[in-house]
Chains A and B, each alone.
Chain A
Amino acid sequence: MSEQNNGMSRRTVLKGAAVGGLGIAAGSTLLTSCGSKDAGPMKWGGRGLEESSVQWHEAVAASFEEATGTKVTLNMNDSNAFQNNLSQYLQGTPDDGFDWQAGYRMQFYADQGLLEDVSSVWDEIGGQFAESYKIASTAADGKQYFLPTSWYPWGLHYRKSTMTELGLDPENIATWDDFMKMLEATKKKGLIGYALGDKGGWEAMGTFDILNARINGYQFHVDLLAGREKWTDAKVAEVFKYFEMMIPYMNTNVLDISWEGMRDLLLQKKCGAMMMGSWFSGDFKTLSQADYDDLWIVPFPEINPEHGRDTIDAPIDGLCVAANGENPEGGKALVQWLASKEGMQARLDSGNTFTSANNGQDTSSYDPFQKQQLAVMGEAKYITQFLDRDTRQDFANPVVAPAIQNFLRNPKDINKILESVQEQWDALPAL
């Protein structure tokens, strides 16, 4: 794992489109002001109200209390609702530390002064993370506002058994031709080639991201999301040409189902491949160990040899400290412990399946699927977060999401759709 992470530190992480300077704190001060152990009772805002999430949060909170002797109160929230209301949450009476995401979504709130600077925590335990994570945790002012805990790669997920029946090996589906052959073979067998859902509007962004990165490369993708390239560029239309080639192999109800529907198709062996972040793998485990062992992930195939398979969407999850919390110092102590090797180990011990962002994590307990996630990640040179984390929030969901839905409905209209996307970008108010 440490080798993997060292590899990652050489790579570039998309910092979020609108942020100008990298502003890495070069000379970190060793004088730390916080991290004192008796920081008083504190609150932790957790995401995910479902049983599995509540369980690991409670287990980790208990470990924290045991380790530090400080009381922590958990406030679990419905994941979607939490995200939709984060602005109000942070302005009101937030919990001291809370689960959040790296990249643009963190930077926006940091710029608005709603997050507490956690550079001092980075001074203390920053050595446990790869440099790329530090970049992803840094806002426009060059300070850190985020501590990474876990990440998951977006890749093509297969069931090994289904592929074996077709006489294919996911590892060998490495080029567009291989990919199309796989789709053709699954279709012949009466299965769905490529499972896709886009009811939520964001699911298909994963496919767009990876096609754009494969065809036009990382730099173009970043520039496009930052508004430095135009959606009307023929290069973008090219992406949708490839996207369109996949449509005949998709399920007939793409706009009916959300990501759960896609997962169910793979879960019930009804499809060949599914493009998704690996976070759902725990669901396979819940169903049965055999189903989990059958699951595999490989990087999306190469399309343009110039770019190979050098980019991957790998959103980083982690923790922030709220500026308006009652006990920001306590919040810092909390996130420091949670993100540290010790805290991460407590989370692994609770049975939560995830891949740790911590360098020093003991990966000996990782199963083959987790190791494969590391390998998929290791192949990429550039890491992006995800379209709706990498560009303006008033652009991603209100503009790009309906555009992709319209494309899936009427692929022939793509030029008109892209023109409209560009017009809507141009009409956005300056930040």
Chain B
Amino acid sequence: MTTLIPEKKYKNTQKTKDRFISIFIGFFALAWLFPIAWTIWSSLRPYNDVIANGVFSVPDTLNLDNYINAIRLMKLPMYLTNSLLITIPAVILTLGFGSLIAFVVSRYSFKFNVALLLFFTAGNLLPQQLVFIPLFKMYLSIGDFFGNRALLYDSILGVVLIHVAFQLGFATFVLSSFLKTIPKEISESAMVDGASVWVHFTKIILPLLRPPLASLAVLMSTWIYNDFFWALVLMKSDSKRPITSALARLQGEFVTDFNLLAAGAIVAALPTLIVFFVLRKQFVSGLTVGSTKG
């Protein structure tokens, strides 16, 4: 805890250096945020003002009109609801399945343990486009088999499932890495006590997994919320599509009002930004990528 550094001199040069480093990184951090800040700034100005007076002009008016218009044109309630209907179940299912696999793989030893883990991780690394054509055909045939073509295709369920299938690899990987860092004794005592597998999982493992589950929940909801590919190719009804479709309403084939678009972009990004800032601590603290404690 207490620093035991004997040499004051060393400490001082290190301090100066650190200050330099901090300023240097700070400069980059500001550069990193600048495009976002510029977009927010632009979103407060009317487009015609920019066209007439140039990008660097001092604005005549600064107001929230672009936001009001963007929210109206984007049909925000509808798309936001769809996004939540896709994201929340997909995240829950992914984490549920991921915990199950991580639990079995890290607490029981079967011959196929490693293979299983590798198999899921490899699946996560596949390019999405590789599965698209057959998946589409499969969704249709499964739907036809159950007498409802819209069972998986053009349905929120179908999009949820493919997200789960793809993200499962990453979740399994992070969760099992985390479990590896937890002493086995905790589980062993449960096994000795003769607790059933189900009890072992629900009463012992799941509570332990809370930190990585929280951080994964944040990461995965960001990814799934932001996806545009699957919702686009597997859904035909615009009324079922997620928020990524809302921006298309502003982008239009005809006159594009860039400042309105900026406001729309900020609105679309807000939910993930809020989730991120609220749960910022979980983001890092819960992730254990590759255990370093051997």
Contact = CB atoms under 8 A, between A and B. Distances in A.
Interface of A: 45, 48-54, 75-79, 81, 85, 88-89, 91-95, 260, 268, 280, 282-283, 286-287
Interface residues of B, number: 25
B236 A50 contact: no
Contacts of B200: none
Given A92-B153, A93-B154, A48 B233 contact: no
A52 B252 contact: yes
Contacts of A53: 252-254
Given A53-B253, A85-B232, A85-B233, A268 B51 contact: yes
Contacts of A283: 254-255
B253 A48 contact: yes
Nearest to B245: A78
Contacts of A75: 236-239
A420 B93 CA distance: 50
Contacts, number: 70
A77 B154 CA distance: 13
Nearest to B234: A88
Given A52-B252, A78-B245, A286-B254, 5 more contacts: A51-B252, A81-B232, A93-B153, A280-B254, A283-B254
Interface in B218-242: 232-234, 236-239
Contacts of B253: 48, 50, 53, 79
22 contacts: A45-B236, A49-B248, A49-B252, A51-B73, A53-B253, A75-B238, A75-B239, A76-B238, A78-B238, A78-B248, A79-B253, A88-B236, A92-B149, A92-B154, A92-B236, A93-B149, A95-B236, A260-B256, A283-B254, A283-B255, A286-B254, A286-B255
Given A76-B238, A77-B238, A92 B140 contact: yes
A51 B234 CA distance: 24
Contacts of B256: 260
Given A75-B238, A268-B51, A50 B233 contact: no
Contacts of B51: 268
A49 B249 contact: yes
B150 interface: yes
Nearest to A52: B254
B51 to A, nearest CB: 7
Interface string B125-147: 00000000000100010000000
A48 B252 contact: yes
B251 interface: yes
A9 to B, nearest CB: 30
A45 B238 CA distance: 10
Given A75-B238, A92-B149, A260-B256, A50 B154 contact: no
Contacts of B254: 48, 50, 52-53, 280, 282-283, 286
Contacts of B239: 75
A50 B249 contact: yes
B252 A287 contact: no
Contacts of A88: 136, 233-234, 236
Interface of B: 51, 73, 136, 140, 149-150, 153-154, 232-234, 236-239, 245, 248-256
Nearest to A45: B236
Contacts of B150: 93
Nearest to B231: A81
Best-surrounded residue of B73, B153, B238 (most CB of chain A within 10 A)? B238
A395 B83 CA distance: 36
A51 B254 CA distance: 9
A346 B252 CA distance: 23
Counting chain B CB atoms within 10 Å of each CB, the highest count among A48, A54, A89, A93 belongs to: A93
A48 B255 CA distance: 12
Given A75-B236, A76-B238, A94-B236, A50 B251 contact: yes
- The winner among B136, B237, B251, B255 for most chain A CB atoms within 10 A is B255
A267 B10 CA distance: 65
A317 to B, nearest CB: 12
Contacts of A93: 149-150, 153-154, 236
Nearest to B232: A81
B248 to A, nearest CB: 4
A282 to B, nearest CB: 6
Contacts of B251: 49-50, 78
Contacts of B154: 92-93
Contacts of B236: 45, 75, 85, 88-89, 92-95
B228 to A, nearest CB: 9
The 6 closest A-B pairs by CB, nearest first: A50-B252, A78-B248, A283-B255, A49-B248, A49-B249, A92-B153
B192 to A, nearest CB: 54
Contacts of B140: 91-92
Contacts of A79: 253
Contacts of B255: 283, 286-287
A93 B236 CA distance: 8
A91 B153 CA distance: 10
Contacts of A48: 252-254
B213 to A, nearest CB: 34
Contacts of A78: 238, 245, 248, 251
Nearest to B139: A92
Contacts of B238: 49, 75-78
Contacts of B73: 51
Nearest to A77: B238
A51 B149 contact: no
B11 to A, nearest CB: 53
A77 B150 CA distance: 18
Contacts of A52: 252, 254
A293 to B, nearest CB: 17
B260 to A, nearest CB: 10
A53 B239 CA distance: 16
